[in-house]
Every structure is written in structure tokens, then in C-alpha cells.
């Protein structure tokens, strides 16, 4: 997607009224941010989780465990989905052409120091990346309660990375639907059913899951949720 197409998408949703000039200037930036902020940000309900659990043939505590670990329960902050922008993914998607000029958003190697602590600064990273490359920008962030990377838009049944980001900005129910599609599409359903947290974490978060103890954290979260059920 080019910037003119993004402007048309934003205009069709009522957020952009400027010229369709293909320039990601202040008007386009503000329209993008407002579009992804407006919500309605509805939380998931017990019924939503029960239906998703039935689809995956797991108990609700299993889904709640992933919810608790991936975004610490914060699906939205300040009206926007919680995100984590991945500079090394953006670098790979853009064939490293922005590494030298934009080291804060494009890094050939993974670097934890490039992860800002605040959501505001993470959104600034994302919008700076979108200004350079719309698709690569939205593909290189993970979104919402289940922190699914935008690269996975197709397996989550979105037409493109922008559409995926927009859906993630709507409700926690949309985020939950993407999670179910991702688990099925990436062949993780069986691991989730067995509560093989190591196998699930490896497929969900990558081989670095051990460094962040994702499997241990998932197991602990499941233990708390299952006792509370």
C-alpha cells in the first residue's frame, strides 16, 4: 500500500479530508492516529472467551493465561491498542535500506534498547516507520491483548497490514478473533490444547521465548486463572 491509498482509506472512514497527494505529512499522521484511537475499545466478555475456548477446544483459563501474559491485561492504553514496534522486523521488511538513516526504527539486529517504555513513544516509532513504508510499518508492530505481529495479517484474515492494525484498534473481541485465527493458522492449536507451554511459546513468540521465560509465565498465569475459575 502506498501513502495515497492510505489517505483514501482514511478519507473513506471519515478521518482525512486533505489532498490525496501521497505525502505522509501532519494531516495524514494525525488522521492515522485518530483513526486507530477512536475505538470503541469494548473489552472482551466471559462469553467471548468461552466461545473462543470452544473453537480451540481448550478451557477459558488457557485463553486468559495468554491474555494475561502478552499485554499484562492492557489491551488498550489511551484509547489505542497496546503495541510493540519491532525495528529488526522493519529492517528486514524494507531490506535494510533505512538502517543507516533511521537507526531508532530500523535495525538489522534485535536490540532491546530500541524498545521505548511508554506507549506514546512506541506509537511515535510506528508512525515514523509508516511515513517511510506503509506496509512494512504496520507489519512490524504487534497489537493489543494478544500482541500478534502485523506480519501475520493474512493468516488472521485481513486484506493487508493496515486493515489488520485497524481491526486491532476496534475492540478486544477483534483482537480475540485474530488470536483464534492465528493459533489455528500457525498450527499451535494442539500445543495449546495440551498446555505444552514451551511448544506454544516457541511458535507464538519465537525461539527467544526462553530468555523472557514466556513458557514459565504462561504456566503460572494458567495456574492462577484455573484456580479462580
For the chain, what is the domain count? Answer: 1
In whole angstroms, give the CA distance from residue 2 to residue 112. 29
Question: Where do we find the cell 466478555?
Answer: 45
pTM of the model: 0.94
Residue-wise pLDDT for 10-20, tens only, equals 999 999 999 99
Question: Where do we find the cell 532491546?
Answer: 112
Residue-wise pLDDT for 201-221, tens only, equals 999 988 878 888 999 999 999
* Structural domain for 30, as ranges: 1-36
Residues of the chain short of pLDDT 70, as ranges, are: 73, 229
- 28 in a domain, yes or no? yes
- 93 in a domain, yes or no? no
Relative to beta strand 141-143, strand 148-149 is antiparallel
- 142 in a domain, yes or no? no
- 180 in a domain, yes or no? no
- 4 in a domain, yes or no? yes
Per-residue pLDDT at 73:
67
In whole angstroms, give the CA distance from residue 228 to residue 23. 51
Distance between terminal CA atoms of the chain? Answer: 45
Mean pLDDT (the chain) is: 96
Q: Bridge partners of 180? A: none
- 170 in a domain, yes or no? no
- 169 in a domain, yes or no? no
- 18 in a domain, yes or no? yes
Amino acid at each position: 500500500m502506498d501513502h495515497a491509498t492510505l489517505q483514501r482509506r482514511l478519507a473513506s472512514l471519515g478521518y482525512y479530508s486533505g489532498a490525496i497527494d501521497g505525502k505522509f505529512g501532519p494531516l495524514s499522521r494525525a488522521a492515522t492516529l485518530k483513526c486507530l484511537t477512536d475505538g470503541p475499545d469494548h473489552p472482551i466478555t466471559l462469553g467471548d472467551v468461552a466461545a473462543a475456548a470452544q473453537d480451540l477446544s481448550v478451557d477459558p483459563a488457557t485463553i486468559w493465561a495468554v491474555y494475561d501474559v502478552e499485554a499484562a491485561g492492557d489491551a488498550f492504553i489511551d484509547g489505542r491498542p497496546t503495541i510493540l514496534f519491532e525495528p529488526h522486523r522493519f529492517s528486514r521488511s524494507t531490506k535494510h535500506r533505512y538502517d543507516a538513516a533511521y537507526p531508532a526504527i530500523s535495525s538489522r539486529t534485535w536490540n532491546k534498547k530500541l524498545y521505548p517504555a511508554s506507549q506514546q513513544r512506541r506509537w511515535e516509532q510506528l508512525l515514523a516507520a509508516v511515513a517511510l513504508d506503509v506496509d512494512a510499518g504496520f507489519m512490524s508492530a504487534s497489537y493489543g491483548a494478544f500482541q500478534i505481529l502485523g506480519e501475520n495479517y493474512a493468516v488472521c484474515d485481513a486484506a493487508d497490514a493496515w486493515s489488520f492494525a485497524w481491526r486491532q484498534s476496534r475492540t478486544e473481541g477483534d483482537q480475540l478473533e485474530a488470536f483464534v485465527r492465528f493459533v489455528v493458522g500457525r498450527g499451535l492449536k494442539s500445543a495449546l490444547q495440551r498446555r505444552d507451554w514451551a511448544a506454544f511459546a516457541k511458535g507464538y513468540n519465537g525461539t527467544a521465548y526462553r530468555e523472557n521465560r514466556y513458557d514459565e509465565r504462561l504456566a503460572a498465569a494458567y495456574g492462577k486463572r484455573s484456580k479462580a475459575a
